[in-house]
Structure 1
Amino acid sequence: MIDPLAQVVGLLQPSASFSKVVNGAGSWLVRRSEAGRPFYCVILDGSCRLSVREQEWVILERGDFVLIPSAYDFTTSSLEPKPTGDVATVPVELRPGVFQLGSRVGPLNVRMLVGYCAFGSCDAALLVSLLPQLVHVRGEKRLTTLVQLLDEESRGDRPARDVILARLIEVLLIEALRSMAGPAAAPGLLRGLADERLAIALRRMHERPTWPWTVAQLAKEAALSRSAFFERFRRAVGVAPMEYLLHWRMALAKDLLRRKEGGIAEVADRVGYSSASTFSVAFARHVGLPPTAYAREQWLERSSSPLQGAA
């Protein structure tokens, strides 16, 4: 059986970037404006506050795990005393991989392991849009263990290090995301998969993206009326069923073109289009350039990459 969540995470092509231990004491505040990189954090001891995109503050406690799939604007701070003037604190590196926030003396109010990873997929923005803006999980020891393994592996230089890191990141993402799944999740793939009826339709679309699905057929798979299915899907996933299917087909097509798996006609057939011309029109409308131009652009980017040149 196809697992939509595993497919999405796989297509994101996650890789480890770096991790560090951060200690906080006294009054401190850190505001980050990142270029959309995935950020994760586990509270090893103590507590602190977190706000994503100026939303309501969330209190993080020992054992809490946080994942922000696309970290643009978020702020962390001490609980008490509250920082005055919202002036950002400059972290001080105590030793490689260990940083201090706030006072250099006095008891620590938090100790956390934080890190960033990267998504290799050029379609990451679309795929990330299917995920929650913030994943906050409490009391899941498996997540803490995975983060610690990731940290240990990233600091070593053992054989197959990059392969292990990639697999750990994939498992970490899937474990974190499925820990958040439920009817209370924000609109997106996780909330859709938490609905038994909608999950059937989502799995069918992922299992058979080439099938000429209609809303009526998907509704039948979910054992719902057409109108009830359409509204329930749109509320839970955040987009209409056919729009989701189009996004998924285009994500698959981009991946096939990037990996040069077949010509345009073969790619069209593998993502559910009856002809190369029909596929090309849909792809150009969705992506902004024809599939041939997209494939060429991806090849040029790979060939000009410093990693490619060094290989």
Structure 2
Amino acid sequence: MSDPLTQVVGLLQPNTSVSKLVIGAGVWAVRRLDDGLPFYCAVLDGACRLSIEGRATITLRSGDFVLVPAAYDFVTSSLVPPPIEAEPEMVEMDPGIFRLGSPNDRPDVRMLVGHCSFGSDDATLLVSLLPQLVHVRDDRRLMALVELVNDETRSDRPGRDVVLARLLEVLLIEALRLTAGRASPPGLLRGLCDERLAIALRRLHEHPEKSWTVLELARTAALSRSSFFDRFRREVGVTPMEYLLSWRMALAKDLLRGKKTSVAQVAERVGYGSASTFSVAFSRYSGIPPAYYAAGGSSL
């Protein structure tokens, strides 16, 4: 059966644009406005603070990994932050290695920091299925992956871009599954932690072309229609049919971008009986016809 988490991360098409080693000493703070780009940080030694707009400040310590799939306004700082008006003193000591704060004080923290991007045109939708913040403590496997990403980013070896894309997919999947649980916010991860809903989600991902109804999905989960509908909306955050539509459109965009599949073939593969019916649904969802999108047009 299909693995929904792997499919979502694969469609996101993650790639890294910046990866660096940051050393902090004394009092310092850096504020970033990332416009919804992914951000991750792995603390190798010491400790620092992370403040994200709208969330409680958290302390990151040695062995901690944090991922924000869509970062907008956040501040990393020393444990005792400086005055708001203070400008950080940042020096590039070597390529990809930066020092923050006092040049004379003993370092208080060493961390690997990365800023990524997603190649998918449907990244906003796909990211909405993931937690807003992933925080993992003391996982050696995850830290090793971050170091591999950092090393590959700063190298110039053949096949670098392909290796980075695969490493980032593995990094994202590993981080996300480590935080999966019933305490997760509503979304795909929380839905997959529900044994009954997980069966329906996997079937839906495995056969998006089927003419699914809420009743049929409920039967795969061995639940009544009303129980399944309420449980799905509570755990996943949207109704079953809303999720199905979103997933079909994400798949359709991926197929259309490949330019090797006709609109009629895409329609059949994502569960529409005709190209015209699919075109109407796609246009309503994306704001443009599928043929125009396949030709390189931008969706709304």
TM-score normalised by structure 1 residue count: 0.93
Tell me the CA shift for residue 158 of structure 1. Answer: 2.0
For 1:160, the equivalent position in structure 2 comes to: 159
How many angstroms apart in 2 are the aligned matches of 1:212 and 1:28? 56
For 1:2, the equivalent position in structure 2 comes to: 2
Alpha carbons 2:25, 2:101 under 8 Å: kept: yes
Where has structure 1 moved over 6 Å in runs of 4 or more? Answer: none
Tell me the CA shift for residue 22 of structure 1. Answer: 0.7
Tell me the CA shift for residue 90 of structure 1. Answer: 4.3
Tell me the CA shift for residue 96 of structure 1. Answer: 1.3
TM-score normalised by structure 2 residue count: 0.96
> Which aligned pairs between 1:91-240 and structure 2 lie closer than 5 A?
91-240=90-239
For 1:305, the equivalent position in structure 2 comes to: none
Q: Secondary structure at the match of 1:55?
A: coil
Instruction: Number of aligned residue pairs: give it.
Output: 299
1:2-57 C-alpha deviation (Å, 9 max, x unpaired): 10000001111112222101111111111110122211110000111112223101
How many angstroms apart in 1 are the aligned matches of 2:129 and 2:89? 34
Whichever residue aligns with residue 183 of structure 2, its letter is A
1:271-297 C-alpha deviation (Å, 9 max, x unpaired): 000011110110000000111111112
Tell me the CA shift for residue 230 of structure 1. Answer: 1.1
Alpha carbons 1:31, 1:88 under 8 Å: kept: no
Whichever residue aligns with residue 203 of structure 1, its letter is R
Q: Secondary structure at the match of 1:108?
A: coil
Whichever residue aligns with residue 12 of structure 2, its letter is L
Task: Check if 1:70 corresponds to 2:37.
Answer: no
Q: Secondary structure at the match of 2:284?
A: helix
How many angstroms apart in 1 are the aligned matches of 2:87 and 2:71? 17
How many angstroms apart in 2 are the aligned matches of 1:203 and 1:87? 51
Tell me the CA shift for residue 169 of structure 1. Answer: 0.8
Gaps of 5+ in 1: 301-311
Gaps of 5+ in 2: none
1:49-96 C-alpha deviation (Å, 9 max, x unpaired): 11222310111110001111111111111113x322364524221221
Alpha carbons 1:47, 1:62 under 8 Å: kept: yes
Alpha carbons 1:261, 1:267 under 8 Å: kept: no
Q: Secondary structure at the match of 2:24?
A: strand
1:210-248 C-alpha deviation (Å, 9 max, x unpaired): 111111111111111211111111111111110000000
RMSD (CA atoms): 1.5
| Percent of aligned pairs with the same amino acid | 65
